[in-house]
Amino acid sequence: MSIPSRPGSGACAQSQNLPNPGQEALLHACLCPPELFGQHWRAWREAEDIEHLDESSNRLLPLLFKQAEKAGWVDHEMGRLRGIYRYQWCRNQLMLAELRRVLHTLNLASIEVMLLKGAAMIEGYYEDPALRPMSDLDIMVRPENFEKASQILRGLEYTQRFSVDFEKIRSERLTHAIEFTRSVNGQTWEIDLHWTPLHRATWPGAEEPFWEHSRAVSFKGETCRTFDPTHQLLHVCLHGALWNALPPMRWVTDAMWILRKDNIEWHRLMEHARDLNGLQLLKNSLEYIHSRFDAPIPDGVLKQLNDLRPSRFERLEFSLQTSSSSDMRLGQLLLLGWLNHSRALHGMPLWRRVTSFPNYLKTACKLTYWRQAPGYVIKRLTARS
């Protein structure tokens, strides 16, 4: 198996987005066999104050509770963890019931739906809904059904977070998904409606391989689809490796659950990552979970990833993608936006990319009108101070 890389020299940069030692100790406790749980629990408790955990760590506590139960662990914190587990079970059950309602309506309109992220992981891997907390629901429809699906969501009393021109989004490839929200009885549901699964894959046909290899499933009696294991792992790694204000630690547990349950077509995984210009992100993710959590990744795959020699341009893009946006200068943020937009318009004339770039920035910043831009800039600058 041979995965060609673009010319260049130098090793891949290290991501700034990997878990810190305390978070890593928690991940070990969530993923270890029962007989090792005690030592990892103690290591985590020595490293972290349970009263002041970051939000990413809090999201792993239901899984930690289940691990403690399996290990027969006795600790005064078990009552707290049991309460968190039950709360998350109830919350996710409500979210999944809302998802079923949406799927039912879309199915009546003959719109095929793909489950993404948390809902897909619960359906295919975790099974217990408490173990994979979700902040929103992500679904994907085919591009030709995107506008119709949006109309259906609006008919279900969902509103768009900001106004968009669907034709312009398609023609200029401005974004991969639109956010919809609905508030009822003090509860707000958020659905991200995708026409392609990743922001780095918005060119025509980018979504087709994901549909081609997808699997049909029945979700609470409603027909839908999920990624096959290879694409599920790819999506988890490429999405999780990016910098996020809320570090997505759970990508580690997602990836490990996939690898422990299913066989991966490694050649296809790497070929598709290359097509998405995501080999460095994949390398960063797979090397991390292999070295820290003994993920079952073939030596040949790791060797090929280690042999990659990215160009200076690729190293720059990787560094920007995995760095805190709050620490970036304005020029770096604009450069990252330009790289993301140019990838979607690869092969297009420079004038086409330049003229559509302002609309890309407007959509990326979730602005309905340009007059909102000064307020957005002030908000970003205030957050950095």
For position 1, what pLDDT does the model report?
43
Cα separation values, 24 from 20, 57, 78, 178, 236, Å? 6, 10, 20, 33, 18
Q: Where along the chain do its domains lie?
A: 21-384
Q: Phi first, then psi: what are they for 187, rounded to 5°?
A: -110, 135
C-alpha span between 59 and 135 (Å, rounded): 10
For position 342, what pLDDT does the model report?
82
For position 378, what pLDDT does the model report?
66
Cα angle vertex 287, ends 282, 290, to 5°?
125
For position 381, what pLDDT does the model report?
57
Picking from 158, 149, 236, the residue whose alpha carbon sits closest to that of residue 191 is: 158
| 228 within 8 A of 211, measured Cβ to Cβ | no
Residue 263, token pair as written in the block? 């066989």
For position 311, what pLDDT does the model report?
77
Global pTM reads 0.88
| pLDDT < 70 positions in the chain | 1-16, 245, 247, 325-326, 376-385
For position 162, what pLDDT does the model report?
77
C-alpha span between 56 and 303 (Å, rounded): 31
C-alpha span between 95 and 269 (Å, rounded): 31
For 175, residues 6+ apart whose C-beta sits below 8 A from its C-beta are 164, 169, 199, 202, 363, 364
For position 9, what pLDDT does the model report?
31
For position 16, what pLDDT does the model report?
55
Q: Phi first, then psi: what are they for 351, rounded to 5°?
A: -60, -35
Buried b (16+ CB within 10 A) or exposed e, 167-193: eebbebbbbbbbbbebeeeeeebbbbb
CATH architecture of 21-384: 2-Layer Sandwich (3.30)
